[in-house]
Amino acid sequence: MRPTQHYFDLKLMNAASNIRFRANPGGALTGRIRVPGDKSISHRSIMLGSLAEGVTEISGFLEGEDSLATLAAFRAMGVHIEGPYQGHVRVHGVGLHGLKAPSQPLYLGNSGTSMRLLAGLLAGQAFDTELTGDVSLSKRPMRRVTEPLANMGARIDTAEGGTAPLKIHGGQTLQAIDYVLPMASAQVKSCVLLAGLYVQGRTCTTEPAPTRDHTERMLRGMGYRVDVNGANACLQGGGHLQATPIDVPADISSAAFFLVGASIAPGSDLLLEHVGMNPTRTGVIDILRAMGADIEVQNPREVGGEPVADLRVRSAQLRGIDIPPQLVPLAIDEFPVLFVAAACAEGRTVLTGAEELRVKESDRIQVMADGLKILGIDARPTPDGMVIEGGTLGQGQVDSHGDHRIAMAFAMAALRAAGPIDIDDCANVNTSFPGFIELARQSGLAVSLI
């Protein structure tokens, strides 16, 4: 494998000057595209590949800032990682106990997944570590992972308010726990299970609603037994991971922007290839279909333990719905663009039970409501969701508040807008979707940098 051509100074990238998008109205989405690799699986492929015995070959790796932050962190802890080069990465695993103390704090940029999952992995190490992030990540709640880890015997210091930086004291003897999650969170579940690799007993988690299960699947794919029974997942500490090839499917969260764009733009007919169809992630498809979207699942198959398929989406007249509560955790990352779908639908859409959206990269409920109002849509935020009356999108300037998913959602909104939509603070789109503008333009969206 050729050595990587990437050298990412994440601090410098996050300090970049404001990047703005202009999305011009009209157009249709057509053709065949493959969106970048799944971010959740990319993170875990580096983490578990580093802790495995042997060499893990990864294809389809997402070369976005968040995933690269995870990669850089494990390099800093002594793991030899080749790439990425065109989505290919080779990780030379060091085993569960082979990580080395980094020489400085691990800077994780904007990646909440990196910080929360690493907290679990590092709680069981023999050395001290400090996890830091950018301004946005430093405001996100971390007690949701530090508290269960403390119950296991970990020692983690946080900033006032329970936020980053996290100072993790090594050399602690962790105890197995049976943890009932107070909220549905794959990051919290994964954090506890990963810490459980370093205890002598059996660690279990119980979640109030289904969340993505990539950690459980990948652990099993590497030969580590994980028992899953409904909402309960358990593993016994003290085992080992065996390296295995990992093919990262296209990220359904990234595909969601094109699913909505093709649904709302008349004349659209778009095929999205090799999309991850993990049943804990397909809520966006179920919600859009309930709204009347024309989405066809083609060529379903399984790759490396993860279900994938091609998705054909054609334009359709959407209708407002009351979003079923059981689908909310299965589409939590896709709601910014689902709010755009609701704005273009006939009638009222009501979302409840999504208070988690207020503590993402931004307060996604308030920021999306503010932007939709600027564009002439009646969008009323509530403590745990939003009420949106479908209408006619106008034009204007909106602020993404540095949130990659909000920036891309408003770009897709231009397909049905009366005039241009200018979007501020878009630099973080590279955290999850490098090449978004190029792929969107290839598909038929008139979007550019200004």
Contact 41, 218 (CB under 8 A): yes
Q: Is 333 a catalytic residue?
A: yes
Residue type, 155: R
Distance in angstroms (rounded) separating the CA atoms of residues 438 and 143? 38
Contact 28, 444 (CB under 8 A): yes
Residue 332 makes CB contacts below 8 A (sequence gap 6+) with 283, 354, 356, 357
Q: What does the DSSP 8-state code read for residue 179? A: E
Q: 239: which 2 tokens?
A: 């085992």
Phi/psi for 23 (5° steps) reads -110, 120
Phi/psi for 449 (5° steps) reads -80, 145
Distance in angstroms (rounded) separating the CA atoms of residues 64 and 158? 27
Q: Which is catalytic among the residues 134, 247, 251, 333?
A: 333
Q: What does the DSSP 8-state code read for residue 237? A: S
190: closest CA among 118, 128, 89? 118
Residue 93 makes CB contacts below 8 A (sequence gap 6+) with 49, 50, 51, 52, 53, 54, 55, 56, 79, 241, 243
Secondary structure (3-state) at 64:
coil
Core vs surface per residue 139-177: b (16+ CB within 10 A) or e:
ebebebbbebbeebbbebebeeeebbbbbbeeebebebb
Catalytic residue list: 333
